Amino acid sequence: MGLEDRLNQLLEIDWRDGEKGIYPHSLLFDNPWEDFFRYYPMLCLDLPLTWERLTQNRYQDFAQEIEKDGYPSYYVQNFHHQTNGYLSDLSANLYDLQVEILFGGAADIMRRRILAPLKHGLEIFDGLPQKQTKILDIACGTGRTLKLIRAALPQASLFGTDLSPAYLRKANELLSQIPGELPQLLQANAEELPYLDHYFHAVTSVFLFHELPASIRQPVIEQCFRVTKPGGVFIICDSIQMSDSPELAPIMNNFSKMFHEPYYNHYITDDLVARLEQAGFENIKTQVHFVSKYFIAHKPA
């Protein structure tokens, strides 16, 4: 299936899920245009620096004032050739605009594909008031996924972690603008989640695993298993892989170099289902929508 057909199929599913009430219909038309118009000139001004780093193969290039101590070495990268990687307010302000340009406006639509399996996975806790339902989004970035979860589950208790203080500030700014209790945001490494065992009814991860080295993916999955309640669900949204989308192999093979994704080439051949099973998850299902792949895994009750 070509990219255009995949995108059309994604749009149809998005509309159907809205019609079914998986999330408010208004989400179909929710785009941060004001933010995009505000930061588009900054994105244009940043392009010469991006091009300079790209042509000179400078992939760990940070301004002197950027604090890099205390972060894993694999994280201190100019992912996507972004100025100062994930460690500046400018990067956080430009990120959503850059991602929507990359995905042709489909980034939030792909994020929304976690909502139907999330709500379905929570049905095992059906007698629990929604307000007592605890959901964690790891590597929450600018908070886009948490915003979507809040719309679908307005009373749930939401939590988000990220390594970047700048991105957490941006997430707090975004999430403070929407109704409902503000999600609890915390700077944390997904390799060592600072939560009790069996604490969350659901854990989500969007666009994280392709930016982790192979040796780190398993510890992160095991942490997600640890903090998930028995019967709970863990949902990953990430890039397509070779096994499910071989027809897009040329795009995947070039993606790592074009966008400086140093761990992507291993990711596209990695068996995440086997990793999830190794951690203890069961009843694992996968889905593919446009250029994203979804892993829905359950912790034994």
CATH number for the domain including 261? 3.40.50.150
Query: Do 266 and 142 belong to one domain?
Result: yes
Statement to judge: residues 64 and 176 lie in one domain = no
Do 77 and 149 fall within a single domain? no
Give the model confidence (pLDDT) of 92-138 as tens digits.
999 999 999 989 999 999 999 999 999 999 999 988 999 999 999 99
Task: Give the phi and the psi of residue 289 in degrees, each rounded to 5.
Answer: -135, 115
What are the backbone dihedrals phi and psi of residue 220, each rounded to the nearest 5 degrees, phi first?
-65, -45
Question: The domain containing residue 166 runs over which residues?
Answer: 3-23+107-299
Sign of the dihedral through C-alpha 213, 158, 163, 196: negative
Contact 277, 284 (CB under 8 A): yes
> Is 178 contained in some domain?
yes
Q: How high is the pLDDT of residue 49? A: 83
CA distance 163 to 140: 9
Would you say residue 50 lies in a domain? Answer: yes
Q: In one letter, which amino acid is 209?
A: F
Residue 112 and residue 28: Cα distance in Å, rounded?
A: 10
Instruction: Give yes or no: residues 99 and 233 share one domain.
Output: no
Per the CB < 8 A criterion, the answer to whether 118 and 152 are in contact is yes
* SS3 of the chain: CCHHHHHHHHHHHHHHHHHHCCCCHHHHHCCCHHHHHHHHHHHHHHHHHHHHHHHCCCCCCCCCCCCCCCCCHHHCCCHHHCCCCCCCHHHHHHHHHHHHHHCCCCHHHHHHCCHHHHHHHHHHHCCCCHHHCEEEEECCCCCHHHHHHHHHCCCCEEEEEECCHHHHHHHHHHHCCCCCCCCEEEECCHHHCCCCCCCEEEEEEECCHHHCCHHHHHHHHHHHHHHEEEEEEEEEEEECCCCCCHHHHHHHHHHHHHCCCCCHHHHCCCCHHHHHHHHCCEEEEEEEECCEEEEEEECCC
Mean pLDDT rounded to a whole number for the chain: 95
29 domain-assigned? no
Residue 28: inside a domain: no
Dihedral pair phi/psi, residue 131, rounded to 5°: -65, -25
Q: For residues 200 and 170, is the Cβ–Cβ distance under 8 A?
A: no
Q: What is the pTM of this model?
A: 0.95
Weakly modelled stretches of the chain, pLDDT under 50: none
- Tell whether 56 and 174 lie within a shared domain: no
- Distance from C-alpha of 46 to C-alpha of 42, rounded to nearest angstrom: 6
Would you say residue 273 lies in a domain?
yes
Total structural domains within the chain:
2
Domain C-terminal end among 72, 103, 134: 103
